[in-house]
């Protein structure tokens, strides 16, 4: 099997166009990593990086997720500290608005409408960068309020605070726009989805850190007894293979709804009928429910932490209550994991409700002479698609909830370091597997066009979209 895979990758470099696309993608991704390493002027990034390294298990939630998506740029106070996330957020906002704003929904269906929607997303990205960059500059001024009272030292080295703020906001906005442009260049001239690959390369950049933590578990420094043995290694490898296989299976899983097209006449032309199928993906929402859940759960913890400090002198009983709630809502507790799982279930259905329009699909089928065997066209088809999507969404949402809490369970119960555990589940594994599948699918399409074998002997790699 491995010989066939290596042979397939070797064939990729025998096709001139595919070879140039792969090399261009690798070069642009290298530039993206430089953006995540170039430090911002006027900031002490070394102190923040050391704090993140020493408190890796405590920087979960939104901060840990954001640092993961930026490829470590946030913890280095680098040029790409905002990462590509403002562009992702702008795209999500536009998608959600298009589901509720009739003007945007109509614009998408018009010729050239998607180009305008993409342009609106870019404008919104600039606004989000300016806002998020300003708040990030303020957070670096007061790191003890963001990272905890135990934060050592100060991050800002400039005396002119407004000069520092304006300079930092401009640099952070420029870094995000540069990453956005590089991602679009990969999509147009490279291989794979550029924005997704920018996020993936940032996640994979943490592999050396995870490898180092694994090595230290098996071969600690002199004088320290090793806590892991050969059986731990076998268990970790088997667990990793099982989780990756499950993620691939669920990412690729879909229910095929048969669709029959009747023979119809348009003018003097007669179009023959046929049988096709409508794929309904089990994990329709992708990684979005996990991102929404973790982002929202970040705020109650901070709010009750602040309330406990503010009411400590005036109302000790209320302060004690807020402190108890804060402790229960900390990342990794049973209450936190339960709320996270429930919110993932909710946002899975929320995303499907806003993005999957069964009424429009039923109308389009009726318009083009298609129908589902055994189901009447129109409202009955819409109800059938709604029930089918609700059932498979439940399975996908439960799987997402398990994958989301798995790294925390490994850290809390099995004593797996946080740097290692994040590759056994959560957003990092879902994004990495999904993006690599999409990239391999595009490479396979180039190979099959030139009469080369694909990555699989039977069937083809299906895309997520």
Confidence (pLDDT) at 173? 94
Alpha-carbon distance of 401 to 406, in angstroms, equals: 9
In a domain, 203, yes or no: no
Dihedral sign from CA coordinates of 112, 117, 120, 125: negative
Confidence (pLDDT) at 195? 86
Banded model confidence at residue 126, pLDDT cuts 50, 70, 90: very high
Alpha-carbon distance of 323 to 194, in angstroms, equals: 44
Which range (144-158, 329-343, 383-397) has the least confidence?
Answer: 144-158
In a domain, 407, yes or no: no
Banded model confidence at residue 28, pLDDT cuts 50, 70, 90: very high
Confidence (pLDDT) at 129? 93
Is residue 7 predicted with pLDDT exceeding 90? Answer: no
CB 106 within 8 A of CB 169: no
Span 394-434, pLDDT tens digits: 999 999 999 888 888 887 777 777 778 778 877 788 888 88
Is residue 157 predicted with pLDDT exceeding 60? Answer: yes
| Total tally of structural domains belonging to the chain | 1
27/72: higher pLDDT: 27
Span 182-194, pLDDT tens digits: 999 999 999 888 8
Average pLDDT over residues 359-385: 87
Alpha-carbon distance of 166 to 164, in angstroms, equals: 6
Confidence (pLDDT) at 64? 66
Beta pairing class for 254-261 and 370-371? antiparallel
Confidence (pLDDT) at 150? 63
Alpha-carbon distance of 110 to 21, in angstroms, equals: 31
Beta pairing class for 370-371 and 274-281? unpaired
Q: How far is CA 449 from the centre of its chain?
A: 31
Confidence (pLDDT) at 209? 81
Is residue 377 predicted with pLDDT exceeding 90? Answer: no
Dihedral sign from CA coordinates of 454, 459, 464, 465: positive
In a domain, 331, yes or no: no
Give me 382's structure tokens: 């819409």
Give me 202's structure tokens: 């940032």
Alpha-carbon distance of 200 to 431, in angstroms, equals: 7
150/422: higher pLDDT: 422
Average pLDDT over residues 135-155: 76
Residues linked to residue 271 through DSSP beta bridges, in sequence order = 264
Confidence (pLDDT) at 14? 82
Banded model confidence at residue 390, pLDDT cuts 50, 70, 90: very high
SS3 content of the chain, % helix, strand, coil (to 5): 70, 5, 25
Domain residues for the domain of 143 are 20-197
Banded model confidence at residue 464, pLDDT cuts 50, 70, 90: very low
Alpha-carbon distance of 116 to 114, in angstroms, equals: 5
Average pLDDT over residues 122-138: 91
Tell me the backbone φ, ψ of residue 225, rounded to 5 degrees. Answer: -80, 135
CB 78 within 8 A of CB 37: yes
Is residue 12 predicted with pLDDT exceeding 50? Answer: yes
Alpha-carbon distance of 423 to 416, in angstroms, equals: 11
Specify whether the backbone of 276 is left (phi greater than 0), alpha (psi in -120 to 50) or beta.
beta
End-to-end CA distance of the chain: 27
Q: How far is CA 340 from CA 301, 405, 416, in A?
A: 13, 8, 21
Dihedral sign from CA coordinates of 228, 233, 234, 239: positive
In a domain, 142, yes or no: yes
Alpha-carbon distance of 268 to 35, in angstroms, equals: 59
Q: How far is CA 339 from CA 294, 333, 336, in A?
A: 10, 10, 5
46/200: higher pLDDT: 200
Banded model confidence at residue 55, pLDDT cuts 50, 70, 90: low
Confidence (pLDDT) at 465? 41
Question: Which domain CATH number covers 151?
Answer: 1.10.3370.10
CB 345 within 8 A of CB 401: yes
Which range (273-287, 375-389, 402-416, 439-453) has the least confidence?
Answer: 439-453
In a domain, 403, yes or no: no
Alpha-carbon distance of 318 to 307, in angstroms, equals: 9
Which range (80-89, 108-117, 140-149, 177-186) has the least confidence?
Answer: 140-149
In a domain, 457, yes or no: no
Alpha-carbon distance of 279 to 43, in angstroms, equals: 50
Alpha-carbon distance of 431 to 199, in angstroms, equals: 8
Kindly state the DSSP code that residue 225 receives in the 8-state scheme: -
Residue with tokens 């083009």: 368
In a domain, 143, yes or no: yes
Compute the residue count for the chain: 465
Q: How far is CA 262 from CA 6, 359, 368, 379, 405, in A?
A: 46, 20, 9, 19, 48
Residue with tokens 């490994």: 410
Alpha-carbon distance of 340 to 334, in angstroms, equals: 10
Percent of the chain with pLDDT over 90: 17
Banded model confidence at residue 332, pLDDT cuts 50, 70, 90: confident
462/164: higher pLDDT: 164
3-state secondary structure at position 274:
strand
In a domain, 241, yes or no: no
């Amino acid at each position: 099997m491995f010989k066939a895979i290596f042979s397939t990758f070797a064939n990729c470099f025998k096709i001139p166009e595919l070879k140039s696309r792969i090399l261009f993608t690798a070069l642009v991704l290298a530039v993206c990593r430089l953006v995540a390493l170039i430090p911002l002027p006027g900031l002490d990034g070394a102190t923040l990086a050391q704090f993140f390294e020493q408190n890796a298990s405590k920087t979960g939630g939104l901060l840990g997720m954001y640092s993961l998506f930026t490829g470590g740029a946030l913890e280095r106070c680098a040029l790409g500290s905002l990462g590509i996330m403002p562009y992702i957020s702008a795209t999500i906002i536009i998608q959600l608005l298009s589901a509720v704003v009739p003007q945007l929904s109509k614009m998408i269906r018009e010729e050239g409408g998607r180009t305008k929607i993409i342009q609106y997303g870019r404008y919104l990205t600039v606004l989000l960068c300016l806002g998020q960059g300003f708040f990030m500059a303020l957070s670096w001024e007061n790191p003890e309020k963001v990272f905890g009272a135990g934060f050592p030292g100060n991050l800002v080295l400039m005396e002119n605070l407004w000069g520092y703020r304006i300079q930092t906001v401009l640099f952070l906005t420029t870094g995000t726009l540069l990453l956005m442009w590089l991602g679009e260049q990969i999509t147009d001239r490279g291989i794979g989805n550029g924005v997704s690959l920018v996020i993936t390369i940032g996640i994979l950049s943490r592999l050396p850190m995870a490898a180092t933590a694994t090595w230290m578990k098996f071969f600690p420094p002199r004088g320290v007894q090793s806590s892991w043995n050969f059986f731990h290694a076998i268990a970790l490898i088997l667990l990793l293979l099982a989780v990756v296989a499950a993620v691939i299976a669920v990412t690729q899983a879909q229910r095929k709804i048969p669709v029959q097209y009747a023979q119809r006449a348009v003018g003097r032309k007669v179009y023959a009928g046929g049988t096709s199928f409508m794929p309904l993906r089990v994990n329709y929402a992708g990684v979005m429910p996990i991102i929404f859940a973790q982002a929202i759960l970040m705020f109650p913890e901070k709010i009750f932490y602040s309330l406990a400090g503010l009411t400590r002198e005036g109302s000790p009983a209320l302060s004690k209550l807020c402190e108890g709630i804060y402790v229960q809502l900390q990342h990794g507790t049973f209450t936190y994991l339960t709320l996270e799982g429930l919110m993932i279930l909710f946002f899975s259905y929320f995303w499907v409700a806003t993005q999957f329009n069964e009424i429009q699909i039923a109308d389009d089928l009726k318009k083009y002479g298609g129908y589902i065997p055994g189901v009447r066209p129109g409202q009955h088809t819409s109800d059938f698609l709604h029930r089918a999507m609700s059932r498979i969404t439940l399975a996908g949402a439960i799987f997402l909830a398990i994958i989301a809490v798995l790294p925390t369970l490994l850290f809390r119960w099995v004593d797996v370091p946080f740097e290692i555990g994040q590759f056994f589940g959560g957003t990092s594994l879902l994004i990495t597997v999904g993006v690599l599948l999409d990239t391999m699918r595009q490479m396979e399409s180039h190979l099959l066009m030139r009469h080369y074998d694909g990555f699989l002997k039977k069937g083809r790699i299906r895309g997520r979209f």
